[in-house]
Structure 1
Amino acid sequence: MEKIAENRCFGGRQLRYQHRSAVLDCDMTFSVYLPPQAAQGKVPVLYWLSGLTCTDENFVTKAGAQRYAAEHGIAVVAPDTSPRGGDVPDDPQGAWDFGLGAGFYVNATEDPWAKHYHMYDYVVSELPSLVADACPVDASRTAISGHSMGGHGAFTIALKNPGRFRSVSAFSPICSPLACPWGEKALGNYLGDDRDAWAAHDSCALMRTAEEKLPALVDQGDADNFLQEQLKPQLLAQAASSAGYPLELRMQPGYDHSYFFIASFIGDHIAFHAAHL
């Protein structure tokens, strides 16, 4: 790995790394915020998964999370949202909701995506190993969060890996890829036509059969223009209710899908995770 950026921030360090990914077969970047407490020893870690069109930098520069991470002594890791590079295929029509910047945190099985698009394995296996080697983090105290496509990623990864995380949260998550156009396009292309394979990456389907019940927090703006067609938080609430899953879903009046929304409540989410880390 190569450290390509470092900035002092709230007494800690905002770092950016570049490395060759064996899982994705391309060069990748990720960002890490280390709070001031990391100078004295290992700290708990929160993984943040961003949404469609984002890189590792959107959350780092827009959410204002460092202030709260410093207060609570939590490291924050933000990976990119897809493989990158000239050899990595993109949406044939150049659309923003698939391909580059839209890895959906799954392992693609269909050509031409299967060579590079293994974001699930990257986030679950390769990235934590790299972070543990480079940074003073305590892998036994880990939480996960995300926004939109990244909220889908956070919940599905947490639900599929019992024992790995202590808490999960999301802003404006894609709650059921099986039931929205974004999900149908992405999972249909990455995983093929078998909808049973899609269900393994659907938060609602996974929540209904979850054996581990993590503390879970979701914030959703009621002025989000993607709310009804793409996000459908009511489906996640129904799944949680039927499974007895401890989900707190907060509908926030007047808020949209933007980072202005995330910045308004990221302090709550980091405090929520800190209580369980």
Structure 2
Amino acid sequence: MSIQTFGHEAFFMQLNSDIKSFGGRQRQYTHPSQTLSCEMTFSIYLPLQAEFGPVPVLYWLSGLTCTDQNFVTKAGAQVYAAEHGIAIVCPDTSPRGDSVPDDSDGGWDFGLGAGFYLNATQPPWSTNYQMYDYVIEELPTLIEQNFPIDSQRQAISGHSMGGHGALTIALKNTARFRSVSAFSPIVAPTQCPWGEKAFTHYLGGDRNDWLQYDACSLVAIATDQLPVLVDQGTGDDFLETQLKTELLVETAQAAKYPMQIRMQEGYDHSYFFIASFIGEHIAFHAEHLTD
């Protein structure tokens, strides 16, 4: 067990697993989160290069119903992270625990596993659902204090709800990240059923409060620009109703925000899609993370 000072209290981090992969280590840890008021789990891949000095880091945000393990076990990213000498950090997708409120209707698109990477303002969600602060503040501090990470070389990526999270977090923190990418992102959650349900509960009924977590809205007002890569499968069942990639294309063109937005013929919403192109995404980030 590693003990680290966080704020003014002793901070504990428990190692759950440590597996060798492509010369590096794939690890999973659990820690008590002050931000989310519950115990949280995250995974980190440390390439062999981390044994000799600080390495750049890619934060990966997963989608609805996922945990920290979906990307770790299905994406096949370790071989590319090892090649480029990049650490990958995968947080969970929401707060967890018996005391954390969930969707009372038992839906999978809200509540546990569906934190939407925002800071909830409405009770009872506001006590635990502070995923934006967790991803942007608490978790990076924990990572930088305990692992050989170069905090000046950070990138972020994600899938679906996590693609939404990666885009919005990067667009709001352009000085922190060097690049951002996404697979099948929810680009306009204020205009789709998934986003409308989650935002109504987490943020309340004023739609103006929702815009700070909407990628299209943020692109439209952006003054600083990051390198952006988005891949979307044309065979994705959620494309028309939930993801609406065309809105990001239109907004980026109108705002003169250069982005690589690639429509990949026949690919669906699954991790088979992610595994097919994750090597290109890590190479994209490596280009911008290299000094």
Relative to the length of structure 2, the TM-score reads 0.95
**Partner of 1:164 in structure 2?**
176
Structure 2: 5+ residue runs without aligned partners? 1-12
Which residue of structure 1 aligns with residue 195 of structure 2? 183
CA distance in 1, matches of 2:238, 2:78: 28
Mapped to 1, the partners of 2:171 and 2:281 lie a distance apart of: 18
Cα separation, 2, equivalents of 1:129 and 1:246: 31
Q: Does 1:259 align with 2:285?
A: no
Tell me if 1:3 matches 2:15. Answer: yes
Matched, 1:16 2:21: no
Q: What are the within-5 Å matches in structure 2 for residues 38-117 of structure 1?
A: 38-117=50-129
Of 252, 256, 259, 1:244 maps to: 256
Q: From 38, 44, 47, give the equivalent of 1:32.
A: 44
Where does residue 201 of structure 1 map in the other structure? 213
Deviation at 1:239, TM superposition (A): 1.1
Summarize deviations over 1:117-164 as a string: whole Å, max 9, x none.
000000000000011111101010000000000000000000111201
CA apart distance, 1:243: 1.2
In structure 2, what is the Cα distance between the partners aligned to 1:242 and 1:138? 35
Percentage identity across aligned positions? 66
Cα displacement string for residues 92-139 of structure 1 (whole angstroms, at most 9, x for unaligned residues): 101000000000000000011010000000000000001111110101
Q: Tell me how large the CA RMSD over aligned residues is.
A: 0.5
Among residues 216, 229, 254, which one is paired with 2:241 in the alignment?
229
Distance 2:267 2:146 in 1: 37
Q: Which residue of 1 aligns with 2:223?
A: 211
Which runs of 5 or more structure 1 residues have no equivalent in the other structure?
none
Q: AA paired with 1:138?
A: D
User: Aligned-pair distance for 1:246?
Assistant: 1.5
**Separation (CA, whole Å) in 2 of partners of 1:124 and 1:222:** 31
Deviations 1:45-94 (A, max 9, x none): 00000000000000000000000000000000000000000000000101
Distance 2:258 2:228 in 1: 6
Distance in 2 (CA, whole Å) between partners of 1:79 and 1:246 is: 29
User: Using the alignment, how far apart are the partners of 1:162 and 1:258 within structure 2?
Assistant: 29
CA distance in 1, matches of 2:43, 2:65: 16
Distance 1:35 1:267 in 2: 15
For 2:178 and 2:224, the matched residues in 1 are separated by 10
Cα distance in 2, alignment partners of residues 245 and 55 from structure 1: 32
Q: CA deviation at 1:233?
A: 0.5
Amino acid paired to 1:100: L
Q: Does 1:125 align with 2:134?
A: no
With the length of structure 1 as denominator, give the TM-score of the two structures.
0.99
1:182 offset after TM fit, Å?
Answer: 0.2
Partner of 2:6: none
In 1, distance between residues paired with 2:50 and 2:258?
31
Letter in 1 for 2:247: L
Deviations 1:184-212 (A, max 9, x none): 00011100001011001000000011111
For residues 141 and 244 of structure 1, what CA distance do their matches in structure 2 show?
26
**3-state SS of 1:105 partner:** coil
